Each structure stands twice: as structure tokens, then as C-alpha cells.
Amino acid sequence: MVGTTTTAPAPAITVNVGGRSQRNVRTLPLIAPSVVVLFLWMIVPLAMTLWFSFQYYNLLDPSVGGFAGIENYTFLLTDPSLWTAMANTLFLVFWVLVITVGLGTLLAVLFDQEFYGRSIARLLAIAPFFVMPTVSALIWKNMLMHPVNGLFAFFARSLGLPAIDFFGNFPLTSVIIIVAWQWLPFALLILLTAIQSLDNEQKEAARMDGAGPFAMFFFIILPHLGRAISVVIMIETIFLLSVFAEIYVTTSGGPGLASTNLAFLIYLRALREYDVGGASAAGVIAVVLANIVAIFLVRSIAKNIAD
């Protein structure tokens, strides 16, 4: 990783596991396999991506080749599709985060209340997280959002409204809805666990002091959730930056580039246009973008590791 190495130095240099610990167990041979395979998995493809990004390289046309300098980058950076894809990526991440964290917090408070059949209701609410992305994309696309036979179209017509052509008119919004549905349970699960770890005595004390439900929420629960929310935001961001299957199955990035994010753009360049050089340059940009985020993530989690 480019950026994270500043916070966590490369293991090859820093691991001090070669020596014998006080208990006479050699830890190096135990740890080495994990470190070696992960290091290779990280560094080899990354180095290759970096290398290709400075080459002319087309998978179909062997006559294209040679050193390209920064031309892949200049071409990419002056191509509006990169900026569209970048904007779409950030737009998607932002809105899914707003929806999942906002609704997730409310739902977590709700599912923390005691009610009949709570544990079953909770299981139903976290279910979408276990649905594979290709399945959820297809259900939403065909059975719910289909402009003719879909359930939403039926509801709209029953209310005397015109049916919405979700993927035709609001492709990115539709993808956001699907992705948010998938990630809402994740936020709910994490935030609910965090709420349940809240000290009951503290809640009682606040109640004794006359705190109503709103004061309770804003002054006791929300501050307590701070860490959990930051963890949710950071982990979701990492996954949301590279949303792929949902777009692949529903809109294929279209119409035009309306729902193409960085991940899908690279896929289009590399495996549909066979332009390895250009795709690699976009890949490097994606890695840099993720690293900027990762620095924050590593820092926030580092603080939270219990000894």
C-alpha cells in the first residue's frame, strides 16, 4: 500500500519476531507464512499495475507497445469519463453512508427496545446482508423496479401515478437504493451491538434525572455510538468505493456513463476495450483514492484495539 505504510511500516523490516521470546517459542516460523503470502499478494499486482500504467498495452493488438510515459495518465485525466466515474463513486459512497448510518441508528434504537418477537424481527432485518450482490441486484431490478411488471410500478399505478422507469431515468439513484438496502443491516448490526454495551446504570441515572426519550437519544446514546459510527463509516467506505456486481447486473454502467463508478470504468477499459495501459492508470488512481481513506481508517481502528 502506498499510503498506509506511513502509519504501519512494512513488516519485512519491522517484524521483530526472529528472536526467541521469553518463553522459548520461536514465533518467526509461525508468523512468516501469513506475512509472506500477504506481502506477495499486495506488492506483486500493485507493482505490475504501476508498471502497466506507464506502458502502451492492448490485449488484442500486439503491435501496440512500448513506454508511454505519463500519456495514459494525461489521457485519462483529460477524459471526462474519469471525472464522471469519480463523481459517481463519491456520490454513491456518500448517499449510501447517509442512508445506512441515519436509518441504521434509528433502527438500532428501535431494536434495542423490548417488544414481542424482537429477536425474530431482528433476524429478518439483518437478512439482506447475507444476500449475494448479484441476487439482490436481480430481485430489485426485475421484481421490484421493473417499469412494467415490477411491484413498484404496480403500486404507482394503483395510486394513479405513472410508473417510474428506475434504471432508465434514475440509474445511479437506483443503484444507491439497492446498495443501501444491502448495507443497512451491517450498520444496524454494529450499532445495535454498540447500544447494547451501553451501561444500564447510566441509562437509569439519566432517567432518574428526568431525561426524556429525546434527551436520552442525543445526550446518552448518540455520544456512546460515536466510535461504532466511525467504524461503520470507515468499513463501508472501503467496500463502497469498489461496488461492482450491482452495477454489472443492473445498468452495466449506463445509460452512457450515468452509473459508472471507478471500479466499473476500469473493468470497461480492461476487459471490454482491452486497454491495459489506460485501465492500469485508472487502477492506480483508485488505489490512491482508497489509500487516502485507508489512512483514516487505520488510525481510527488503531486507537480502538484493546490490549
Residues 234-293 interacting with another protein (rule: CB under 8 A): 235, 238, 241-242, 244-245, 248-250, 262-263, 266-267, 270-271, 276, 279-280, 283-284, 286-287, 289-291, 293
In three-state secondary structure terms, 23 is coil
Decide whether 64 or 138 has the Cβ nearer to another protein: 138
Say how far apart CA 154 and CA 162 lie, in whole Å: 10
CB of 266 to another protein, least distance (A): 5
Residue among 104, 258, 109 nearest 169 (CA)? 258
Give the three cell numbers for residue 155. Answer: 403500486
Q: Is 4 near another protein (CB under 8 A)?
A: yes
Q: Is 1 near another protein (CB under 8 A)?
A: yes
Q: Is 301 near another protein (CB under 8 A)?
A: yes
CB of 141 to another protein, least distance (A): 7
Give the residue carrying C-alpha cell 487505520.
Answer: 298
Say how far apart CA 186 and CA 129 lie, in whole Å: 6
Decide whether 220 or 278 has the Cβ nearer to another protein: 278
Q: Is 161 near another protein (CB under 8 A)?
A: no
CB of 112 to another protein, least distance (A): 10
Say how far apart CA 8 and CA 167 lie, in whole Å: 43
Say how far apart CA 171 and CA 258 lie, in whole Å: 7
DSSP letter, residue 251? T
Decide whether 35 or 206 has the Cβ nearer to another protein: 35
Binding to another protein, residues 167-186 (CB under 8 A): 181, 184-186
CB of 110 to another protein, least distance (A): 6
Residue span binding another protein (CB under 8 A) among the ranges 66-74, 92-100, 126-134, 166-174: 126-134
Binding to another protein, residues 136-155 (CB under 8 A): 136-144, 148-149, 151, 154
Long-range contacts of the stretch 20-27 (C-beta < 8 A, 24+): none
Decide whether 211 or 245 has the Cβ nearer to another protein: 245
Cβ partners under 8 Å of residue 200, min gap 6: none
Residue span binding another protein (CB under 8 A) among the ranges 31-39, 73-81, 166-174, 204-212: 31-39
Helix H or strand E segment including 211: none
Say how far apart CA 137 and CA 146 lie, in whole Å: 12
Options 176, 179, 220, 228; binder of another protein; rule CB under 8 A: 228
Q: Is 63 near another protein (CB under 8 A)?
A: no
Q: Is 105 near another protein (CB under 8 A)?
A: no
Q: Is 200 near another protein (CB under 8 A)?
A: no
Cβ partners under 8 Å of residue 268, min gap 6: 253, 260
Give the residue carrying C-alpha cell 467506505.
Answer: 237
Give the residue carrying C-alpha cell 443497512.
Answer: 184
Residue span binding another protein (CB under 8 A) among the ranges 17-25, 60-68, 74-82, 198-206: 17-25
Options 35, 86, 156, 164; binder of another protein; rule CB under 8 A: 35
129 close to 236: Cβ distance less than 8 angstroms: no
CB of 64 to another protein, least distance (A): 15
Say how far apart CA 274 and CA 271 lie, in whole Å: 5
